[in-house]
Amino acid sequence: MPIVVRIDVELAKRKMSVGEFAERVGLTPANIAVLKNGRAKAVRFSTLEAMCRVLDCQPGDLLEWVEE
């Protein structure tokens, strides 16, 4: 998949657990896992905004395009 989700990298930088992140963003840990594992087909802008707010980062810190 050419879009790589880097949530795990940002969580590790902040020493934040998936559970804490999910709670603060307003998603279930299962939905965070779907995003982290690249199985999501789409991400709402409101979800992306919430993740960036919680992690104090930019969307490009969470999503990366890589050539196949």
Average pLDDT of 28-33?
96
17 phi and psi, to 5 degrees? -80, 160
pTM attached to this predicted model: 0.90
Report all structural domains of the chain as residue ranges with CATH numbers, in order of start.
3-65 (1.10.260.40)
Average pLDDT of 42-60?
97
For residue 62, give both structure tokens: 């969470």
pLDDT at 15 over 90: yes
